Amino acid sequence: MSDLLVQGGRLFDPVSRVDGIGDLLIKDGQVAAVGEAVSVEAEVLGARGLLVVPGLLDMHVHLREPGQEHKETIASGTRAAAMGGFTAVACEPNTSPPRDTAERVAEVIETAKREAAIRVLPKCAITVGQEGSEVTDFAALRAAGAAAASDDGFSVRDAGVMRDALAAAKQTRMPLTLHVDGPEMVERDIGLAAELGWGVHFSHVSLAAEVELIAEARERGLPVSGEATPHHLALCADDAPMGDANFKMNPPLRSAGDRDALRTALVEGVICAIASDHAPHAPDEKARPFEEAPPGVIGLETTVGVIWTDLVHTGLLAERAAVRAMTAGPQEVLGMVGGSVSPALRIGARGDVTLLDPDHEWTVEPERFESKARNCPFAGRRLRGRAVATIVAGRAVMREGSILAPGAIE
């Protein structure tokens, strides 16, 4: 493993309280020096004029493998993630078959070792077959490497089953990331979290009423958190062309008031994470009539550009908050804090780093994406802000819009 010197960039880590021009040395896969001018024999990556931040983490991604490889694969999805500046993704379990056994979690981990461009953190299903009737074996799934449990695409309708899931999650310290299906389910699950004493995280929050419930719970000191997608933060129902399935998603685009409530919640820290909910579909599937087309949009390669264009450069969101919501925020939900397991700009931390150019202007051209899918609601938009290098364990896997030859990720 060669050493890498990231030279002359603006080192920026809100949690480690690093903000200044300097060098970053990654040695043997870990951060070895921060800030001071470093003179060593190492590969040099110039970063003048760029933001150097801890590796971005997208905690809500659909990679579709196994069973739906015509939509996306672990290889293609992680290449798309690397293009977007992400050094790690947590992938949802609604594959075919669902990821509800330890063997299926292990299969994803093994495939990722061979084929992924970045780190892959597999989620497992909360219930067997994602059918909402029987809780999966959290102990075995956690031991196999499951990063969190989710029945994404479905809410666990039966309150008794959800209570059992929370009890099992508490016993195994399994993070729960729950499919949001309206304020009623959010209120119920907050109540169960308070009763069982274990946290819940709500995926793709989209309604002002959901935000209010999460905010109230956090004010009461409950371990409750939420995420929002770039499309729900940037768009509202009025922005969707009639009949265009590239704007069909679950949950759907909401009112301008709901969008603004999400933005405020992100600014105030009620929403702790930005997650793409990257949901690829084959072009012929999205070409069907709107009512027949599957819901979901892709977002790995546009998240940084959309957030900087619509929120940071407009003054709605501080740069510090944007970086935190794509680094420390999702890390905390998944329990990736402290030691060397989480990316950070501090000595001894994992050497996963993203270089961002906040002023890079580019046009969204889905036909040039690394993802197999093209179902992007931002096609044709001019964005300002883009990842220009993605570094995993001290090795650049993407530089200046090109994916480099992948290698083993340790």
- Tens-digit pLDDT profile for residues 312-323: 999 999 999 999
Q: Yes or no: say if 259 and 235 are a contact pair by the CB < 8 Å rule.
A: yes
With bands split at pLDDT 50, 70 and 90, how would you rate the model's confidence at 250? very high
Instruction: Report pLDDT digits (tens) over 76-130.
Output: 999 999 999 999 999 999 999 999 999 999 999 999 999 999 999 999 999 999 9
Determine the average pLDDT of the residues in 366-383: 98
Q: Could you tell me the pTM of the whole model?
A: 0.96
28-42: pLDDT as tens digits: 999 999 987 677 788
Q: Where in the chain is the domain with CATH 3.20.20.140?
A: 56-334
- Over range 208-219, report the average pLDDT: 98
Identify the H or E element spanning 31.
Answer: strand 30-35
**Per residue in 166-194, pLDDT tens?**
999 999 999 999 999 899 999 999 999 99
Across the chain, what does the average pLDDT equal?
95
Return the sign of the alpha-carbon dihedral for residues 379, 380, 385, 391.
positive
DSSP conformation letters of 198-258: --EEEES---HHHHHHHHHHHHTT--EEEEE-HHHHH--GGGSPTT-GGG--SSPP--HHH
- The predicted structure's pLDDT at residue 408: 52
Residue 237: predicted pLDDT? 97
* C-alpha to C-alpha distance for 370 and 66, rounded to whole angstroms: 19
Instruction: Give the pLDDT band (50/70/90) at residue 276.
Output: very high
Are the C-beta atoms of residues 12 and 52 closer than 8 Å to each other? yes
Where in the chain is CATH 2.30.40.10? 4-52+348-400
Architecture of domain 56-334: Alpha-Beta Barrel (3.20)
> What are the two backbone dihedrals, phi and then psi, of residue 278, each rounded to the nearest 5 degrees?
-55, 110
Residue 339 has pLDDT above 90, yes or no: no
Active centre residues (catalytic): 277
| φ/ψ of residue 208, rounded to 5 | -60, -35
Arithmetic mean of pLDDT, 236-254: 97
Q: According to the model, what pLDDT value does residue 396 have?
A: 96
* 102, 144 Cβ separation under 8 angstroms: yes
Which pLDDT belongs to residue 338? 67
CATH architecture, range 4-52+348-400: Roll (2.30)
